[in-house]
Amino acid sequence: MYQVDMVKIDAAQQQEFRLPMLPGAIPGAETSLLTLDAGKAYTREPEADKAFIYLTIDGKFRFHAGRVNIAVEGRYVFIPGPDQPAEFQAVTRTRLLEICWEIPPDSRNEWKSGACGAFPYVQEYITSTQYRDKNKSDKTISREMVRQRIVPGFCMGSVESYGYDKVAQHPHPMLDQFFFSFPENDVDVLIDDFKVPMKGDTLLHIPLGSNHGVEVLEPNHMHYIWIDFFLGQAGLDRLDSSHKPTGQMRSF
Protein backbone atom coordinates (compact mmCIF):
# COMPACT_ATOMS: atom_id res chain seq x y z
CA MET A 1 0.00 0.00 0.00
CA TYR A 2 1.35 3.42 -1.00
CA GLN A 3 1.36 5.65 2.07
CA VAL A 4 -0.41 8.97 1.65
CA ASP A 5 -1.94 11.31 4.20
CA MET A 6 -5.64 10.47 4.39
CA VAL A 7 -8.42 10.25 6.97
CA LYS A 8 -11.69 8.32 6.73
CA ILE A 9 -14.76 9.42 8.72
CA ASP A 10 -17.45 7.11 10.01
CA ALA A 11 -20.41 9.46 9.67
CA ALA A 12 -22.77 7.23 11.66
CA GLN A 13 -20.38 7.14 14.63
CA GLN A 14 -19.12 10.71 14.44
CA GLN A 15 -19.53 12.30 17.89
CA GLU A 16 -17.10 15.24 17.87
CA PHE A 17 -18.56 18.60 16.93
CA ARG A 18 -15.27 19.55 15.24
CA LEU A 19 -12.92 16.99 13.74
CA PRO A 20 -9.60 18.43 12.45
CA MET A 21 -8.52 16.63 9.29
CA LEU A 22 -4.88 16.24 8.19
CA PRO A 23 -3.53 19.21 10.17
CA GLY A 24 -0.27 20.53 8.76
CA ALA A 25 -0.54 18.61 5.47
CA ILE A 26 -0.73 21.82 3.39
CA PRO A 27 0.96 25.00 4.68
CA GLY A 28 -1.58 27.73 5.41
CA ALA A 29 -4.61 25.43 5.18
CA GLU A 30 -6.73 24.01 8.02
CA THR A 31 -9.57 21.63 7.25
CA SER A 32 -12.21 20.39 9.71
CA LEU A 33 -15.42 18.42 9.55
CA LEU A 34 -18.20 20.07 11.57
CA THR A 35 -21.22 18.06 12.69
CA LEU A 36 -24.22 20.05 13.98
CA ASP A 37 -27.07 18.18 15.61
CA ALA A 38 -30.60 19.43 14.98
CA GLY A 39 -31.20 22.73 16.77
CA LYS A 40 -27.50 23.53 17.19
CA ALA A 41 -25.81 26.64 15.81
CA TYR A 42 -22.24 27.46 14.81
CA THR A 43 -20.79 30.95 14.40
CA ARG A 44 -17.35 31.78 13.03
CA GLU A 45 -15.97 35.28 13.50
CA PRO A 46 -13.70 36.69 10.77
CA GLU A 47 -9.93 36.54 11.24
CA ALA A 48 -7.40 38.86 9.66
CA ASP A 49 -5.86 37.59 6.42
CA LYS A 50 -7.88 34.37 6.42
CA ALA A 51 -10.71 33.07 4.26
CA PHE A 52 -13.28 30.54 5.45
CA ILE A 53 -14.82 28.26 2.85
CA TYR A 54 -17.72 25.95 3.76
CA LEU A 55 -19.03 22.95 1.86
CA THR A 56 -22.21 21.47 3.28
CA ILE A 57 -22.46 17.73 2.75
CA ASP A 58 -25.95 16.92 4.01
CA GLY A 59 -28.74 18.20 6.25
CA LYS A 60 -31.24 21.07 6.44
CA PHE A 61 -29.92 24.34 7.84
CA ARG A 62 -30.00 28.13 7.80
CA PHE A 63 -26.99 30.19 6.73
CA HIS A 64 -26.48 33.84 7.64
CA ALA A 65 -23.66 36.22 6.67
CA GLY A 66 -23.84 39.85 5.58
CA ARG A 67 -27.18 40.44 3.87
CA VAL A 68 -27.76 36.75 3.12
CA ASN A 69 -30.05 34.77 5.41
CA ILE A 70 -31.37 31.62 3.73
CA ALA A 71 -32.83 28.25 4.71
CA VAL A 72 -31.72 25.43 2.38
CA GLU A 73 -30.69 21.78 2.44
CA GLY A 74 -28.01 19.62 0.88
CA ARG A 75 -24.80 20.58 -0.85
CA TYR A 76 -23.81 24.24 -1.05
CA VAL A 77 -20.65 26.32 -0.92
CA PHE A 78 -20.56 29.41 1.31
CA ILE A 79 -17.72 31.93 1.64
CA PRO A 80 -18.23 34.87 4.02
CA GLY A 81 -16.38 38.08 3.25
CA PRO A 82 -13.23 39.16 5.11
CA ASP A 83 -15.27 41.15 7.66
CA GLN A 84 -18.39 38.96 7.86
CA PRO A 85 -19.23 36.56 10.69
CA ALA A 86 -20.83 33.35 9.40
CA GLU A 87 -23.59 31.47 11.20
CA PHE A 88 -25.10 28.05 10.54
CA GLN A 89 -28.24 26.86 12.34
CA ALA A 90 -29.04 23.18 11.87
CA VAL A 91 -32.68 22.19 11.32
CA THR A 92 -31.68 18.52 10.94
CA ARG A 93 -28.28 16.97 11.60
CA THR A 94 -25.92 18.82 9.27
CA ARG A 95 -22.36 18.08 8.25
CA LEU A 96 -20.06 20.61 6.66
CA LEU A 97 -16.43 20.92 5.69
CA GLU A 98 -14.73 24.06 6.97
CA ILE A 99 -11.58 25.13 5.13
CA CYS A 100 -9.54 27.95 6.63
CA TRP A 101 -7.00 29.37 4.16
CA GLU A 102 -4.34 31.93 4.99
CA ILE A 103 -4.41 34.50 2.19
CA PRO A 104 -1.01 34.79 0.43
CA PRO A 105 0.81 37.96 1.57
CA ASP A 106 0.86 39.56 -1.89
CA SER A 107 -2.95 39.24 -2.17
CA ARG A 108 -4.04 40.44 1.27
CA ASN A 109 -4.80 44.02 0.25
CA GLU A 110 -6.89 42.73 -2.63
CA TRP A 111 -8.79 40.41 -0.26
CA LYS A 112 -9.42 43.14 2.34
CA SER A 113 -10.47 45.77 -0.22
CA GLY A 114 -13.32 43.75 -1.68
CA ALA A 115 -11.69 43.57 -5.11
CA CYS A 116 -12.36 39.82 -5.26
CA GLY A 117 -16.12 40.34 -5.63
CA ALA A 118 -19.33 40.43 -3.60
CA PHE A 119 -19.63 38.38 -0.43
CA PRO A 120 -20.93 36.20 0.98
CA TYR A 121 -20.40 33.90 -1.97
CA VAL A 122 -23.17 31.29 -2.20
CA GLN A 123 -23.18 28.49 -4.77
CA GLU A 124 -25.59 25.56 -4.90
CA TYR A 125 -23.49 22.53 -5.75
CA ILE A 126 -25.67 21.03 -8.46
CA THR A 127 -25.87 24.32 -10.42
CA SER A 128 -22.10 24.96 -10.43
CA THR A 129 -20.55 25.76 -13.82
CA GLN A 130 -19.49 22.62 -15.64
CA TYR A 131 -16.11 22.45 -17.35
CA ARG A 132 -13.95 20.14 -19.43
CA ASP A 133 -10.27 19.41 -19.31
CA LYS A 134 -7.99 17.11 -21.27
CA ASN A 135 -7.47 14.64 -18.42
CA LYS A 136 -11.13 13.56 -18.25
CA SER A 137 -13.38 11.60 -20.58
CA ASP A 138 -16.45 12.97 -22.35
CA LYS A 139 -18.54 10.94 -19.89
CA THR A 140 -17.21 12.73 -16.80
CA ILE A 141 -19.04 15.71 -15.29
CA SER A 142 -16.70 18.31 -13.77
CA ARG A 143 -17.99 21.27 -11.79
CA GLU A 144 -16.32 24.51 -10.70
CA MET A 145 -17.68 25.33 -7.25
CA VAL A 146 -15.22 28.12 -6.46
CA ARG A 147 -13.42 29.47 -9.51
CA GLN A 148 -9.91 30.90 -9.18
CA ARG A 149 -9.70 34.60 -8.18
CA ILE A 150 -12.74 34.53 -5.87
CA VAL A 151 -10.41 33.70 -2.97
CA PRO A 152 -6.74 34.46 -3.70
CA GLY A 153 -4.70 31.28 -4.01
CA PHE A 154 -7.73 28.96 -3.74
CA CYS A 155 -10.22 27.15 -5.91
CA MET A 156 -12.46 24.11 -5.59
CA GLY A 157 -14.44 21.85 -7.87
CA SER A 158 -15.72 18.31 -8.30
CA VAL A 159 -15.51 15.25 -10.52
CA GLU A 160 -18.43 12.87 -11.05
CA SER A 161 -18.82 9.75 -13.16
CA TYR A 162 -19.68 6.04 -13.05
CA GLY A 163 -17.52 3.03 -13.83
CA TYR A 164 -15.85 2.36 -15.93
CA ASP A 165 -14.14 5.73 -16.21
CA LYS A 166 -10.77 7.26 -15.54
CA VAL A 167 -9.11 10.60 -14.85
CA ALA A 168 -5.76 10.37 -16.62
CA GLN A 169 -2.68 10.71 -14.45
CA HIS A 170 -1.10 14.15 -14.47
CA PRO A 171 1.19 16.29 -12.26
CA HIS A 172 0.78 19.90 -11.15
CA PRO A 173 3.72 20.96 -8.96
CA MET A 174 2.36 24.51 -8.70
CA LEU A 175 -0.89 23.36 -6.98
CA ASP A 176 -1.16 21.71 -3.57
CA GLN A 177 -4.32 19.64 -3.38
CA PHE A 178 -6.79 17.75 -1.20
CA PHE A 179 -9.43 15.32 -2.43
CA PHE A 180 -12.59 14.97 -0.33
CA SER A 181 -15.02 12.22 -1.29
CA PHE A 182 -18.78 12.46 -1.03
CA PRO A 183 -20.38 9.53 0.85
CA GLU A 184 -21.28 7.67 -2.37
CA ASN A 185 -17.73 7.76 -3.78
CA ASP A 186 -15.85 4.45 -4.38
CA VAL A 187 -12.70 4.79 -6.49
CA ASP A 188 -8.98 4.11 -6.66
CA VAL A 189 -6.66 7.12 -6.61
CA LEU A 190 -3.64 6.55 -8.83
CA ILE A 191 -0.46 8.08 -7.41
CA ASP A 192 2.69 7.43 -9.43
CA ASP A 193 2.80 3.62 -9.70
CA PHE A 194 0.36 2.86 -6.88
CA LYS A 195 -3.41 2.56 -6.35
CA VAL A 196 -4.92 3.99 -3.17
CA PRO A 197 -8.57 2.99 -2.48
CA MET A 198 -10.75 5.99 -1.55
CA LYS A 199 -14.31 5.42 -0.43
CA GLY A 200 -16.76 8.00 0.91
CA ASP A 201 -16.19 10.65 3.58
CA THR A 202 -12.42 10.62 3.12
CA LEU A 203 -9.95 13.50 2.94
CA LEU A 204 -6.75 12.67 1.05
CA HIS A 205 -3.68 14.80 0.38
CA ILE A 206 -2.27 14.41 -3.12
CA PRO A 207 1.53 14.44 -2.69
CA LEU A 208 2.81 17.66 -4.25
CA GLY A 209 4.21 17.05 -7.72
CA SER A 210 3.03 13.42 -7.91
CA ASN A 211 1.62 11.95 -11.10
CA HIS A 212 -1.96 11.32 -10.00
CA GLY A 213 -5.32 10.30 -11.44
CA VAL A 214 -8.47 8.39 -10.50
CA GLU A 215 -10.06 5.16 -11.71
CA VAL A 216 -13.61 3.97 -11.08
CA LEU A 217 -14.74 0.42 -11.81
CA GLU A 218 -18.21 -0.64 -12.93
CA PRO A 219 -20.76 -0.09 -11.34
CA ASN A 220 -19.15 2.21 -8.76
CA HIS A 221 -19.74 5.96 -8.42
CA MET A 222 -16.93 8.50 -8.72
CA HIS A 223 -17.89 11.66 -6.85
CA TYR A 224 -15.23 13.71 -5.09
CA ILE A 225 -14.14 17.31 -4.75
CA TRP A 226 -10.68 18.67 -5.40
CA ILE A 227 -9.44 21.55 -3.26
CA ASP A 228 -6.51 23.52 -4.69
CA PHE A 229 -4.12 25.88 -2.89
CA PHE A 230 -1.49 27.81 -4.82
CA LEU A 231 0.90 30.75 -4.69
CA GLY A 232 1.79 33.03 -7.58
CA GLN A 233 0.82 33.22 -11.24
CA ALA A 234 1.72 29.65 -12.26
CA GLY A 235 -1.32 28.18 -10.51
CA LEU A 236 -3.66 30.70 -12.12
CA ASP A 237 -2.17 30.05 -15.54
CA ARG A 238 -2.63 26.30 -15.12
CA LEU A 239 -6.28 26.65 -14.09
CA ASP A 240 -7.10 29.24 -16.75
CA SER A 241 -5.70 27.03 -19.50
CA SER A 242 -7.06 23.67 -18.34
CA HIS A 243 -10.63 24.44 -17.16
CA LYS A 244 -12.90 25.27 -20.11
CA PRO A 245 -16.62 25.88 -19.37
CA THR A 246 -18.88 23.63 -21.45
CA GLY A 247 -21.93 25.91 -21.49
CA GLN A 248 -24.00 22.82 -20.65
CA MET A 249 -25.69 21.48 -17.53
CA ARG A 250 -25.49 17.68 -17.63
CA SER A 251 -26.51 15.14 -14.98
CA PHE A 252 -26.49 11.39 -14.53
Around Cβ 247, how many Cβ atoms within 10 Å?
Answer: 8
Around Cβ 109, how many Cβ atoms within 10 Å?
Answer: 10
Mean pLDDT score across all residues of the chain = 93
Domain boundaries of the chain, sorted by first residue = 11-245
* Class of the CATH domain delimited by 11-245: mainly beta
CA dihedral 141, 176, 109, 240 (to 10 degrees): -40
Band (1; pLDDT cuts 50, 70, 90) = very low
What pLDDT is stored for residue 10 in this prediction?
A: 85
User: Tell me: the pLDDT tens digits for 193-232?
Assistant: 999 999 999 999 998 888 999 999 999 999 999 999 988 7
Closest by CA to 176, choosing from 151, 153, 199, 149, is: 153
Q: What is the 3-state secondary structure (H, E, C) of the chain?
A: CCCCCEEECCCCCCCCCEEEECCCCCCCEEEEEEEECCCCEEEECCCCCEEEEEEEEECEEEEEECCEEEEEECCEEEECCCCCCEEEEECCCEEEEEEEEECCHHHHHHHHHCCCCCCCEEEEHHHCEEEECCCCCCCCEEEEEEEEEEECCEEEEEEEEECCEEEEEECCCCEEEEEEECCCCEEEEEECCEEEEEECCEEEEECCCCCEEEEECCCCEEEEEEEEEECCHHHHHHHHHHCEECCCCCCC
What pLDDT is stored for residue 4 in this prediction?
A: 82
What pLDDT is stored for residue 3 in this prediction?
A: 65
For the ranges 118-127, 130-139, 231-240, the lowest mean pLDDT is seen at 231-240
